């Protein structure tokens, strides 16, 4: 070692190198656990895209090893495993942890909330990142946007919905906060493991199922047995998440932190664009192979009831918890500012060409 | 130098360093010329954001020095200056060079074409990047997406447009391909330097002016004198551009190429999100300070005429040039695949909540 140290000192004295760690050429390997299984399409592509950018940009000094759920066996335990240092990083969705931290939910999506570009604008140009950090800091974690599924569909229905009355008693698989809202308007919300959904829908054990959107619904095959594909209300965007253990982060030199931060940011945007692409491809394929498949929008009275219920529940959350109030208010105020712009730009344009 | 060489060889032999260039700690400085002046808001922020990511991630090994148009005096000469090596890089817009390379136009925007996420999907998941490279390669240049303004507005009008007849003889400032289309439907298209537009509009020398969108229109002040703000048709997204001289690119080691590529990609996405944010802020401000300002959409017959004219002109371009045909066909086919998805997701959602 003394030979090595002497050389390092000599080289350093000659000003040939920018910083000691560059000389040491230290390689950092971070272990990442993802919620998803090994073949999960765009959800699994996001952390791999991130890892490959980080490795290439760092010339191999930063490596990220990814374990899928078949390896770690805890798809919804990512938060805990990264928190306790079993893994350095995670790729998951914030709203899976609302049992432990109720305020985690708002950083994935909120019914009747923002679409993807609006949500990114809230994160990066309004209070989004700061509020998310406020929620995760007490657990020794950093959280970053991890990819957007884009606007999610309202689900596959075997029967057409013509009124609010048609929703009463409807047996539907729809999890999370959206399920709570549906339940409030009279839907019989059921929870079934993903592997049983197709058969349940086929045998009329359930009448409807909400999954994601064409890109991820295609392989589930619901379009083969349910004719009506409804536009969504419950996840107008859904941003998944990179979690990082703060201690693991602090050990990285500044340039590798920058490389990691930019790789995550780019992989998140990239997933949004990949979802846009694959949704287009999959929706075309569904319609070609099953020409009976029909796009529908919920009747105005259904939309109205779901929206009123959503707002009532959000008001209740805001009343009970100070930080919840801060987040909900920030998102509502931001939406009020950005949506008029979305309406006079993309919405007006898409309508004008669709009607021509 | 022999002392240095000896040391390098010794350190290298000890396997302390990953690659020779890391040892040499060579710093690369690229000179970038931008079309924009020094205070150009989000357009100028994009290359600066890119440069700062690249410098941070490379730990100072990659520096990008930016010259604005007040320095190089050639806002629309970026293509030539990067081509001939006077600058290594440029930040500009592809359609400014349609005089020299007519096929450059399609990589910025096309009237009645794609919105921003659709355009990125075409670049990154369809033929976009490959076709763009086909256009720029003969000039020894690489071209990358450089930031999106998001959907641009149709312009500020002093009088309401109620029919196609109202467009005839209307004196309007609208440049480029959109100006050609406008001229075909009877508009008297005028070209005036930006500095004269406000006064011309105020004195009725012109009746209408197209600029960008709220974020960049605000400082122009048109909303103080023209009441009607029309939704657009001519630039449903506009992607500006990073240009790189191929020889300068080839001199960079692989990790710095990766850092540069990812920095450009992220800065492009970031500009789109910044524009979304700033447009929301600026549009709210305009309406608050000038409550008479009213959003309008062109009547269906105007939209129809503009669209037919656009398609006729594109057909003509496609007939005259093989590569133009390839690009136009690729964009049309891609739009046909992706737009149905946009319609059942964001469009359906935005309409359903706007009507509630």
User: Tokens for A265?
Assistant: 């940011």
Report the residue from B153, B254, B274 with minimal CB separation from A125.
Answer: B274
What is the maximal distance between C-alpha atoms in chain A?
83
Whether B236 contacts chain A with CB within 8 A? yes
Instruction: Judge: B18–A300 Cβ closer than 8 Å, yes or no.
Output: no
Which chain B positions have a beta carbon within 8 Å of A349's beta carbon? 115, 151, 231-233, 236
Q: What three-state secondary structure class fits A99?
A: coil
User: Tokens for A82?
Assistant: 């990264």
Which residues are bridge partners to B139 per DSSP? none
Per-residue confidence (pLDDT) for residue B1, from 0 to 100: 37
Q: What is the CATH number of domain B19-150+237-277?
A: 3.40.190.170
Alpha-carbon Rg for chain B in angstroms: 23
Whether B129 contacts chain A with CB within 8 A? no
Instruction: Judge: A117–B120 Cβ closer than 8 Å, yes or no.
Output: no
Total residue count of chain A as it appears in this document: 356
Strands of B89-92's sheet in order across: B62-67, B28-34, B89-92, B239-245, B141-148
Identify the CA nearest to A238 among candidates A95, A41, A130: A95
Instruction: Judge: B350–A16 Cβ closer than 8 Å, yes or no.
Output: no
Mark the ranges of chain A whose per-residue pLDDT is less than 70: 1-24
* CA B238 – CA B148 distance, rounded (Å): 5
Which residues touch B215 (CB under 8 Å, ≥6 apart)?
Answer: B41, B42, B149, B275, B278, B279, B281, B282
Per-residue confidence (pLDDT) for residue A16, from 0 to 100: 45
Q: Where in chain A is the domain with CATH 3.40.190.10?
A: 152-234+292-320
Q: What is the CATH number of domain A27-148+236-289+322-356?
A: 3.40.190.170
Identify the CA nearest to A242 among candidates A148, A167, A346: A148
Instruction: Judge: A341–B269 Cβ closer than 8 Å, yes or no.
Output: no
Report the residue from A17, A125, A337 with minimal CB separation from B25.
Answer: A17
Which chain B positions have a beta carbon within 8 Å of A57's beta carbon? 57, 255, 258-259, 262
Where are any strands of DSSP class E within A290-333?
294-296
Which residues touch B2 (CB under 8 Å, ≥6 apart)?
Answer: none
Testing the interface with A: which of B349, B353, B356 to mutate, by most A Cβ within 10 A?
B349
Per-residue confidence (pLDDT) for residue A25, from 0 to 100: 75
Q: Where in chain B is the domain with CATH 3.40.190.10?
A: 152-233+291-320
Report the residue from B273, B283, B342 with minimal CB separation from A121.
Answer: B273
Per-residue confidence (pLDDT) for residue B18, from 0 to 100: 46
Residue A284 CB coordination number (10 Å): 16
Per-residue confidence (pLDDT) for residue A17, from 0 to 100: 46
Q: Does domain B152-233+291-320 have CATH number 1.10.10.10?
A: no
**How far from A307 is each of A98, A111, B332, CA to CA, in Å?**
21, 8, 37
Whether A284 contacts chain B with CB within 8 A? yes
A349 neighbors B213 (Cβ within 8 angstroms) = no
Instruction: Judge: B284–A344 Cβ closer than 8 Å, yes or no.
Output: no
Whether A91 contacts chain B with CB within 8 A? no
Instruction: Judge: A153–B266 Cβ closer than 8 Å, yes or no.
Output: no
Q: Where in chain A is the domain with CATH 3.40.190.170?
A: 27-148+236-289+322-356
Per-residue burial over B83-101, b = 16 or more CB atoms within 10 Å of its CB, e = otherwise: beeebbbbbbbbbbbeeee
DSSP at A245? E
Whether B124 contacts chain A with CB within 8 A? yes
Instruction: Judge: B16–A22 Cβ closer than 8 Å, yes or no.
Output: no
Q: What DSSP line would sit under B17-37, residue for residue?
A: -SSHHHHHT--EEEEEEESS-
Question: Whole-number mean pLDDT of chain A?
Answer: 94
Identify the CA nearest to B268 among candidates B287, B307, B242: B242
Which chain A positions have a beta carbon within 8 Å of B232's beta carbon? 345, 349
Instruction: Judge: A352–B233 Cβ closer than 8 Å, yes or no.
Output: yes
Complex confidence, ipTM? 0.93
| Superfamily of domain A152-234+292-320, CATH level 4 | Periplasmic binding protein-like II (3.40.190.10)
Residues in B 10-39 with any Cβ partner in A closer than 8 A: 10-11, 14, 16-19, 22-25
B245 neighbors B88 (Cβ within 8 angstroms) = yes
Per-residue confidence (pLDDT) for residue B8, from 0 to 100: 46
**In tens digits, what is the pLDDT along chain B, a chain of 356 residues?**
344 444 444 444 444 444 444 445 799 999 999 999 999 999 999 999 999 999 999 999 999 999 999 999 999 999 999 999 999 999 999 999 999 999 999 999 999 999 999 999 999 999 999 999 999 999 999 999 999 999 999 999 999 999 999 999 999 999 999 999 999 999 999 989 899 999 999 999 999 999 999 999 999 999 999 999 999 999 999 999 999 999 999 999 999 999 999 999 999 999 999 999 999 999 999 999 999 999 999 999 999 999 999 999 999 999 999 999 999 999 999 999 999 999 999 999 999 999 88
Q: Nearest C-alpha of chain A: how many angstroms from B73? A: 33
Place of tokens 């590798």: A256
Whether A265 contacts chain B with CB within 8 A? yes
Q: Nearest C-alpha of chain A: how many angstroms from B26? A: 8
* CA B148 – CA B125 distance, rounded (Å): 17
For residue A76, how far is the Cα from the chain centroid?
14
* CA A148 – CA A36 distance, rounded (Å): 15
Q: What three-state secondary structure class fits B104?
A: helix
Nearest CA in chain A to B294: A344
* CA B235 – CA B352 distance, rounded (Å): 25
Per-residue confidence (pLDDT) for residue B25, from 0 to 100: 75
Half-sphere exposure in the Cβ direction for A354 (13 Å, CA): 15
């Amino acid at each position: 070692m003394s030979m090595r140290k002497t050389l390092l000192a000599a080289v350093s004295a000659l000003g040939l190198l920018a910083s000691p760690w560059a000389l040491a050429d230290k390689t950092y390997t971070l272990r990442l656990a993802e919620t998803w299984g090994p073949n999960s399409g765009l959800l699994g592509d996001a952390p791999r895209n991130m890892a490959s950018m980080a490795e290439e940009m760092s010339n191999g000094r930063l490596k990220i090893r990814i374990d899928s759920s078949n390896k770690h066996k805890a798809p919804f335990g990512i938060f805990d495993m990264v928190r306790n240092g079993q893994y350095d990083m995670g790729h998951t969705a914030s709203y899976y942890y609302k049992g432990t931290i109720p305020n985690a939910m708002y950083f994935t999506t909120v019914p009747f909330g923002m679409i993807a570009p609006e949500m990114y604008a809230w994160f990066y140009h309004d209070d989004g990142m700061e509020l998310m950090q406020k929620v995760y800091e007490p657990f020794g974690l950093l959280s970053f946007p991890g990819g957007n599924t884009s606007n999610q569909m309202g689900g596959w229905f075997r029967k057409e919905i013509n009124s609010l009355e048609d929703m009463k008693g409807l047996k539907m698989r729809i999890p999370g906060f959206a399920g709570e809202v549906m339940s409030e308007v009279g839907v019989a919300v059921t929870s079934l493991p993903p592997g049983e959904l197709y058969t349940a829908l086929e045998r009329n054990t359930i009448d409807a199922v909400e999954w994601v959107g064409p890109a991820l619904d295609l392989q589930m095959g619901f379009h083969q047995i349910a004719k009506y594909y409804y536009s969504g209300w419950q996840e107008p965007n859904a941003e998944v998440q990179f979690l990082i253990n703060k201690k693991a982060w602090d050990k990285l030199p500044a340039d590798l932190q920058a490389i990691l931060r930019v790789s995550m940011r780019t992989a998140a945007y990239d997933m949004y664009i990949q979802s846009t692409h694959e949704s287009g491809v999959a929706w075309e394929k569904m319609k070609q192979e099953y020409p009976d498949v029909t796009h529908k929008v919920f009747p105005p009275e259904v939309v109205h009831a779901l929206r009123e219920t959503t707002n009532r529940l959000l008001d209740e959350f805001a009343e009970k918890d100070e930080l919840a109030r801060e987040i909900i208010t920030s998102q509502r105020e931001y939406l009020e500012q950005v949506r008029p712009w979305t309406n006079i730009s993309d919405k007006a344009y898409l309508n004008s060409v669709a009607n021509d």
